[in-house]
């Protein structure tokens, strides 16, 4: 067995378990029988609660959508939407069809309805997912029918050939988040007393490797992410480092309990708010803000932006993920310094 790794547990030995619990059979039973079940049920319950709240009945709220038309047309559309889908869509007035296309491709709006042509035209970005396209089509088709025509739908930011379902970004991000989670746990399990600078060196090596592999698989191998290799590699590396650092901090502060906290925050809530399936405007109010704070959502939005849209999410993502990467190690250094001071003679 390599140095630092735990060997296999070997045969059952209840006496050894009781010895680990101060010789108490009751404590051994609580630790070995009750605690695993409680933790598993708690994590599973959290996942079910979050996912049931986020997805089965997900509907847009205050989703920004552009509209091109005169005041009368826009006013009539607002009244119709307020009657049919109150609070679902937020109309943003735009001056022309060209401005509408720019707004959609930049990510300023999720779609745009052009009313000043011979027939209504809906501009969408397939990169936001099939659900958004379908919801906007359903919302605006009656408008075209009232005008005696058929709604023409144009995808101005279609998905890559290697990602017809629009899941590549979310799957890439989840794999990296899982890798960062496992790195943070393993780092403290195999070397709990490792010097911090060496732990940071290990984290940097992991992040670089994760970024290169993630970009190679998603950009080169599968052709699922139409973005620059090094841009994707950089964002993926930052996501990996952020998740690894956050998990390491949880282990340093809480010990074994930190594993469950990191699972809840990164793998459960973080995955649910990643916006890989639906935009943040589809999430319930208590989850929506987390999409712009937790590393998975920040990274997914940035990757979508660099791959399909012309927005500046990447800049914000670099800042947020850098904070998630740096602050945990700063806090670990402070905790180590305090511990050394307290233990000094």
Residue 36's pLDDT band (cuts 50, 70, 90):
confident
> In this predicted structure, what is the pLDDT of residue 260?
92
Reported as a single tens digit per residue, the pLDDT across 279-310 is: 999 999 899 999 999 999 999 999 999 999 98
Residue 46: how many CB atoms within 10 A of its CB? Answer: 16
> In this predicted structure, what is the pLDDT of residue 142?
87
Whether pLDDT at 1 is above 60: no
Residue 154: how many CB atoms within 10 A of its CB? Answer: 14
3 state SS of 42: helix
Whether pLDDT at 230 is above 80: yes
> In this predicted structure, what is the pLDDT of residue 3?
54
3 state SS of 222: coil
Instruction: State the average pLDDT over residues 239-264.
Output: 94
Residue 335's pLDDT band (cuts 50, 70, 90):
very high
Q: What is the pTM of this model?
A: 0.90
What are the backbone dihedrals phi and psi of residue 276, each rounded to the nearest 5 degrees, phi first? -70, -30
**Residue from 239, 251, 241, 234 nearest 326 by CA:** 241
| Superfamily of domain 63-155 in the CATH hierarchy | Periplasmic binding protein-like II (3.40.190.10)
**d(Cα 116, Cα 314) in Å, to the nearest integer?**
34
| Cβ within 8 Å of residue 27, ≥6 positions away | 18, 21
> What DSSP line would sit under 66-96, residue for residue?
EEES-HHHHHHHHHHHHHHSTTTEEEEE-SS
Instruction: State the average pLDDT over residues 54-68.
Output: 91
- Looking up tokens 């009657």 gives 83
**Residue from 61, 117, 59 nearest 89 by CA:** 61
Instruction: State the average pLDDT over residues 117-139.
Output: 91
Reported as a single tens digit per residue, the pLDDT across 177-228 is: 999 999 999 998 889 889 999 999 999 999 999 999 999 999 999 999 999 9
Instruction: State the average pLDDT over residues 98-104.
Output: 95
Measure the CA angle with vertex 197, ends 196 and 203; round to 5°.
90
**Residue from 9, 25, 5 nearest 17 by CA:** 25
The answer to whether 103 touches 94, Cβ cutoff 8 Å, is yes
**d(Cα 282, Cα 57) in Å, to the nearest integer?**
9
> In this predicted structure, what is the pLDDT of residue 181?
96
> In this predicted structure, what is the pLDDT of residue 20?
76
**Residue from 130, 226, 237 nearest 177 by CA:** 237
Residue 25: how many CB atoms within 10 A of its CB? Answer: 12
> In this predicted structure, what is the pLDDT of residue 102?
95
Whether pLDDT at 265 is above 60: yes
> In this predicted structure, what is the pLDDT of residue 180?
96
Whether pLDDT at 323 is above 80: yes
Domain chopping of the chain, boundaries: 63-155, 162-340
> In this predicted structure, what is the pLDDT of residue 147?
67
Mean pLDDT taken over the chain: 90
What proportion of the chain, given as a percentage, has pLDDT over 70? 97
> What DSSP line would sit under 1-30, residue for residue?
--TTSPPP--S--HHHHHHHTTT-HHHHHI
Whether pLDDT at 249 is above 90: yes
Residue 16: how many CB atoms within 10 A of its CB? Answer: 13
**Residue from 238, 206, 208, 216 nearest 302 by CA:** 238
Residue 2's pLDDT band (cuts 50, 70, 90):
low
> In this predicted structure, what is the pLDDT of residue 244?
96
């Amino acid at each position: 067995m390599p140095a630092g790794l735990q060997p296999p547990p070997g045969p059952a030995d209840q006496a050894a378990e009781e010895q680990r619990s101060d010789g108490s059979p009751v404590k051994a039973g609580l630790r070995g029988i009750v605690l695993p079940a409680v933790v598993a049920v708690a994590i599973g319950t959290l996942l079910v609660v979050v996912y049931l709240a986020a997805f089965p009945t997900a509907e847009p709220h205050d989703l920004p959508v552009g509209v091109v038309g005169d005041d009368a047309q826009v006013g009539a559309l607002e009244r119709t939407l307020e009657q049919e889908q109150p609070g679902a869509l937020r109309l943003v007035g735009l001056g022309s069809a060209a401005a509408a296309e720019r707004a959609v491709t930049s990510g300023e709006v999720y779609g745009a309805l052009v009313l000043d042509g011979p027939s209504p035209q809906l501009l969408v970005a397939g990169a936001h997912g099939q659900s958004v396209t379908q919801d906007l089509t359903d919302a605006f088709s009656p408008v075209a029918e009232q005008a005696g025509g058929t709604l023409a739908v144009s995808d101005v930011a279609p998905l890559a050939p290697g990602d017809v379902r629009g899941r590549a970004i979310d799957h890439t991000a989840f794999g990296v988040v899982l890798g960062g989670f496992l790195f943070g746990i393993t780092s403290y399990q195999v070397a709990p007393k490792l010097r911090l600078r060496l732990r940071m060196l290990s984290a940097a090596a992991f992040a670089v490797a994760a970024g290169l592999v993630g970009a190679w698989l998603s950009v080169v191998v599968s052709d699922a992410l139409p973005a620059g290799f090094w841009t994707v590699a950089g964002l993926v590396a930052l996501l990996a480092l952020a998740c690894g650092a956050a998990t390491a901090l949880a282990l340093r502060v809480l010990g074994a309990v930190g594993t469950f906290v990191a699972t809840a925050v990164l793998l459960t809530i973080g995955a649910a708010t990643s916006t890989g399936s639906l935009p943040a405007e589809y999430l319930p109010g208590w989850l929506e803000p987390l999409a712009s704070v937790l590393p998975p959502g920040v990274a997914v939005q940035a990757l979508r932006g660099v791959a399909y849209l012309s927005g500046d999410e990447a800049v914000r993502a670099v800042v947020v993920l850098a904070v998630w990467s740096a602050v945990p190690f700063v806090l670990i250094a402070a905790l180590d310094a305090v511990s050394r001071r307290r233990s000094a003679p």
